[in-house]
Chain A
Amino acid sequence: MNFLNLKKDFPVFEQGPLVYLDTAASSLTPTTVIDTMNEYYRTMPVNVHRGVYQMSYEATKKYESARDNIAEFIHAEDEEIVFTRGASSALNMLARMYEPYIEETDEIIVSEIEHHSHLLPWQQVAKRTGAKLVYVPLTKEGRITVDNFKSVLNSSTKVVALTAVSNVLGYRTPLKEIIKLAHEKGAVVSVDAAQSVPHEKVDVKGLDCDFLAFSGHKMLGPTGVGVLYGKKAWLDAFEPLEFGGDMVDYTYKENATWKDAPYKFETGTPPIAEVLGLSEAINYLKNVGMDAIKAHEESLQTYAMKRLEALEGVSVYNHTSETGIIAFNIDDVHPHDAVTFFDEDNIALRAGHHCAQLVMAFLNVAATLRVSFYLYNSKDDVDAFIESLKNARNFFTSVGF
């Protein structure tokens, strides 16, 4: 396996030694993305969709071609791409917009491995409408399977809200078959793709999902921008949640009409620099190649897992994870104690419940450590991490944990 060697493209590495293993929370930013955002502020820092002057026209053109680029990346049409503050905001927005279609007798299928941002909006919808929130039973290792999904799917199912890849356990959900089955029962499917779009090819047409959301900052882009994909028919049907400039068509004293989707969902000045930055991040990812990224992460994961499993005194919670996410703990050491040790070795990894408290309950732990890999990680990063982990385990044992 030839590993990618891309650290040179990420200026944060010039700040000093850093082994960055927390991409599942947020990714690092390449120079090209930073430059693109700076260029907007340097050369055309003006609004879009409003000015009739040349500079605003140019900014609008760039902004809308970014939308085209992002749409093409997930095989969507440009009018199916709504810019949001991030995946959380997109998923919340969707639940709110879909709520009027839900009745008391309906059922909403979710799972215990959802990120809070995909679980809580639907939990709230269920509370407000009286609809039933139904959890897909997980397998012993914490997976969603087609068979388990079938066991909760029925003619009352109205919405299926599932993650593409678990942000703690790294498991891939068999979405294609689940979506097909859900559609046969007349249900719509919302996909949290925050952990899949950055790491592998995603094709919304091939999947046939109704809605899908992801964040810019987990895929080399800036914070503050994300995407809600929705099938055109749904976006046309939904009423906007926010009203104001740019989303309105005609305003009368007692009434108003809206622009077409996606513009009716994007009132106010959008995060223009961030949208351009996200589009440039996608250029970077395409340039490296999504298949190469996926293969690179799989190799790192396989290598890291093998070394982890050889260690005594370390418990791994997702041995069969097929993506670059590993959840584990040092036995008898609280992850917050452990993470301080790694921090001293300039290794950044996550400790906590990862915004997925039901996963912690499922694993029967208060919190876990998590490493996650991306295209800029190297085999050396894994080695440094394992070395530090061994030292941490020995240190905590020596002081009496």
Chain B
Amino acid sequence: MKKIEQLYRQIIMDHYKNPRNKGLKDDEHYVSDHIKNPSCGDDITIQTHVEDGIVTDIRHQGSGCSICCSSASVLSELLKGKTVQRAEYIAENYLLMLMDKDYDQSIDFEDAVAFQGVKQFPARIKCATIAFKAFQNTLK
């Protein structure tokens, strides 16, 4: 199997074609962060709603390659319903995993595990991380 076939796995394609939690809310209780990668045009906005220390909703909107768009969808499913602390911890370890650094392997990354394949394409790691970085910024 070519490396590229490992990258474009069904999970990623499913989230790319049928994104979950897509579309922003016009609600001042949501905190937004917008990240743009000017070199390729990836452009993602993440919105987070936090209530009583729980991430109750995550929305996303943007344009970009399949890796960028699908990772935003995966993120929204993975971290919704978690405590802020837990969500921050998972997001941080997801980024460590993609950067090939030590990370907490006991975490269940659910669909996000599919993005491990991106490690083999250093030029594309950025695509898989910007949604998570934007999410981190919404919690700051």
Contact = CB atoms under 8 A, between A and B. Distances in A.
A315 interface: no
B13 A399 contact: yes
B121 A351 contact: no
Contacts of B67: 336-337
Contacts of B63: 366
Contacts of A337: 8, 65-67
Nearest to A343: B123
Contact of B65 (A334, A344, A353): A334
Contacts of B127: 336
A401 B16 CA distance: 9
Interface string A363-401: 000110000000000000000000000000001100111
A344 B3 contact: yes
Contacts of B113: none
A334 to B, nearest CB: 4
B7 A352 contact: no
A281 B8 CA distance: 42
Nearest to B9: A399
B124 A340 contact: yes
Q: Summarize B's interface: helix, strand, loop or mixed.
A: helix
B13 A336 contact: no
B101 interface: no
Interface string B1-17: 01111011010010011
Interface in A151-184: none
Interface string B42-60: 1000000000000000000
Name the interface size band of chain A.
Answer: 10 to 19
B119 to A, nearest CB: 13
Interface residues of B, number: 24
B39 interface: yes
Interface in A308-366: 334-337, 340-341, 343-344, 351-353, 360, 366
Contacts of A400: 13, 16-17
A337 B71 CA distance: 14
Contacts of A343: 121, 123
A335 B124 CA distance: 12
Contacts of B17: 400
In the A-B complex, the 5 residue pairs with the smallest Cβ-Cβ separation, listed nearest first, are: A336-B65, A334-B65, A400-B13, A367-B41, A366-B41
Interface of A: 334-337, 340-341, 343-344, 351-353, 360, 366-367, 395-396, 399-401
Given A337-B65, A366-B63, A367-B41, 12 more contacts: A334-B65, A335-B65, A336-B42, A337-B8, A340-B7, A340-B121, A344-B4, A366-B64, A395-B8, A396-B8, A399-B5, A400-B16
